Amino acid sequence: MYPGGTLVSVSALAAGLCAGACSTAGGRQTGTGALRPAPRPYAADIPLADGFKLVDKSSEDWASASVRYVRHKYVGRAAQGALREFYRAEMPLVRWTALSDSLVQGKRRMRFVRGNEECIVEIADERGLLSGRAAVEVTITPTRADGGGGAPHGDAAAVRRGDHERTGQQKGPE
């Protein structure tokens, strides 16, 4: 093979790779390495990277007329940095406002608020740093009446269990 043929082969390969990685999602350019939103996320207001799946046995949710609690765990293939950028870009599109973003002991934690709800997105490597798999845990709880984050009186588990004494709420007539 002559040297010009090698250049043409490399150029064709590069063009093919860019065609796969430089695609659009929902009319937006995703760019090389960017994650695309899943076409049908499990909850309409919780963005999900395409290819991520809900882990049923590690997830729960419930809702009443005015309050909901969501704790979903998703797993898939992506780097923590790409997932961070995905949630930074996608959450505002469904009206979540970023409050904080931290990295502690290898786990990324992002906090958002919208209306009377707080959303925490935690991103961690699944089964070791080199596996290429990540776990995303999304928790949505009601905010306190004073505008602070978290479940009423700071105890989402008590709200989930209906433990009215721990949350300070009064039980209705029985």
The whole-number pLDDT of residue 11 equals: 37
Written as one string, the DSSP assignment of 69-80 is EEEEEEEEE--H
Alpha helices in 2-150 (DSSP H): 3-21, 80-90
- The structure's pTM equals 0.66
Show pLDDT as tens, one digit a residue, over the chain (174 residues). Answer: 445 544 333 333 333 333 333 333 443 333 336 899 999 999 889 999 999 999 999 999 999 988 999 999 999 999 999 999 999 999 999 999 999 999 999 999 999 999 999 999 999 998 765 678 999 999 999 987 654 444 443 444 434 434 333 334 444 444
Residue 138 · residue 96 · CB < 8 Å? no
Q: How is the chain split into domains, by residue range?
A: 1-33, 35-166
Which CATH fold topology does 35-166 show?
TATA-Binding Protein (3.30.310)
The whole-number pLDDT of residue 63 equals: 92
